[in-house]
Amino acid sequence: MFHNVVIGKPLVTPDNLFAFSFEDWDKNEFNDTLFTEERFLPKVMVEAGMVKSVNEVRRNQPKLCRTLNKIDFEEVKWGKNKIYICIGE
């Protein structure tokens, strides 16, 4: 499962957002970061390995069925798991 997600081209480099230093980015956080162009949140959650299907999100958390179009930084919680999402252009 990925814990960090970068959508599109962010305004700030992901190593500045997700890591303490460049060494931390290289050793730990880069392998834990998913880079995607998908903007529909349930599909992003499936790609990250957080849920098994989009229907699972629709049944249990319908408020998470949305498209991430605005530049933002979000935290999404599912049970005990969290993912941090950087939304770029």
The structural domain count of the chain equals 1
The residue-averaged pLDDT of 40-55 equals 93
pLDDT tens digits, residue range 9-44?
Answer: 998 888 888 888 888 888 888 889 999 999 999 999
3-state secondary structure (DSSP) of residue 15: helix
- pLDDT over threshold 90, residue 46: yes
Least confident of 15-19, 32-36, 49-53, 65-69: 15-19
Strand order in the sheet with 81-87: 33-36, 4-7, 81-87, 72-78
3-state secondary structure of 6: strand
- Domain span at 77: 4-87
How many residues does this entry show for the chain?
89
What is the arithmetic mean of pLDDT over 52-62? 93
**Residues 2/80, Cβ–Cβ less than 8 Å:** no
Percent of the chain whose predicted confidence (pLDDT) is above 90: 66
- pLDDT at 76 exceeding the cut of 90: yes
Which of 18, 65, 72 has its CA nearest to residue 45?
65
